[in-house]
Chain A
């Protein structure tokens, strides 16, 4: 035993001594020299005179490794984009291929970070808009600002450019955009005698919406458990900031601390997350689960698609899912404005192309991203995903977004009151903490106490980013 203690003490002392030594600084960021960027710019310039067969006869095949979400529609879109990409510029990029690794949404962020830190040779990744500032702060993304002209940047929604930028520089162009509204099952609302407003200006307040949700929550067999729920607030089964954050921000007037959601320094949350208005909004959120019971405490997967919920707060990507599950046009859906307290709010949500600083195929990665984010690429992407494109030009050719079109409301909402989620490199810390707070509020916890503690914890976690936007 004595020997064992000696060994353990020795090991601890040795580690402390070793720890005090200057460790080798981990070089996770590859600084791309300016000459390289200029070189890439030249390479990716459209060369319409190039011939398909003799453009790059000696090029070895290049496979771009792409870390993306598990989503078949997206993958099919990228495959078709690749096929077209190989044909452009006279087949200049015909030697380029894509290889995907797909993972669920919640694993994407840590996977990107761990991959870059480990120096894995990823070329491309799919980055969520609010995370872009974190990637920029930590320089784990190739800065593409100088590869797009001002004119090219103007082809996307300004919200998308803002979400994809860090300190005024565009890090990655958008893949698509989104804005959540309230979809409903027309058969269920008709049965309840409810006629949701068609115009955004007439959208329901939260209280009006609650009346509709209560009316559409039905317990037909009387077992105490609804067979039909009033509403599912958000996609998937978790409480992400994209939809749940709307509650809080909607209860503040435009420009107020509650509406802003965070201090201008990007690291202050007390007084924003736990304001009286925020507490009031979250009380409503808790009542939905615990008092009126119009939505289940434990989320039911695909509750709206399975016709178990009358309403759902979602972007228009739900339409593609409904068509896939039920067949084109077989689900009788409608859409109305998102309910609000004081201010109508929808969080914009763009996904972005990110190029890893570890890429060994920079020219090919840049060329593919430029094509994929162009109107031609975005057109292919929309064909499969059917979600609000980030390319403004496409709206002229998509009848569903024309005046009176079935998806027009999403475009109007995006333009009228769509705002990006809070912009801070500490978004992941913020979202993780808020998600836990909402889970606790759903479970019946004390709201002021939870929000106060959460605001304090977020500030503690993001203090390391202080001064990031100076």
Chain B
């Protein structure tokens, strides 16, 4: 197997709740090589965000992380002390959040906030931080970058704030960038701009990008690999062409039927839907989580489902034969 920058094997996140334990992420395995884009897709509550937070070690208090392997550039993050994680975060691995409106501290100017990771990780002095901030603001497509440094977050629009957040994540020149639904809170025209920007920066800076999203159109355009999550599990993962061209898991097939393809999907015809809703994640279950909604469900689906993989590194969790 290729040497991955980030290698996650059998990652689980458990959250104790009143009724028992919520298995928010179950045995998720992911890997991203340098310069690759891995898109994690799936519906709300399937554990996409928690997976990225777990990788950064930023889970909310109470949530328990466990994994067989969680390595970043060969370094074991499971055993890394807090100080080591702090030294990595914002420096070699950075993260962008969903809500640009609340991701910036209203009490400080853009310039002060951009400089913070740079100064914090000892990359240089204040003047260098300022120069770097201006350079990056220009790179993320903000006009009059130098004059933006003295503005406060409330003076910027949502799209601009998200650009600032991206610039801030890039201040220290990270190798891995985790973007947790970076466009969900923005309006549609800005969404496309931000995603194009991320894809461009990823190419230019050779970033390994983990992009959490539910916009399959974007995924098709930018992903090297795709991981489909359902009910806390990675149900299918593989090279983007393979997952889109020959989806193995019925859930992926269902998801792909939900999006219209211009020119192919006939006008006026209803789009595909997936009947039913996501099962409760409280309490463990061994069987296929999708079987209650799956059109191909059979008795064997109640048994534990082994992960299968083909020669191209395309993995899925379903007992159906590829033809089915």
Answer whether A and B are interacting partners: no
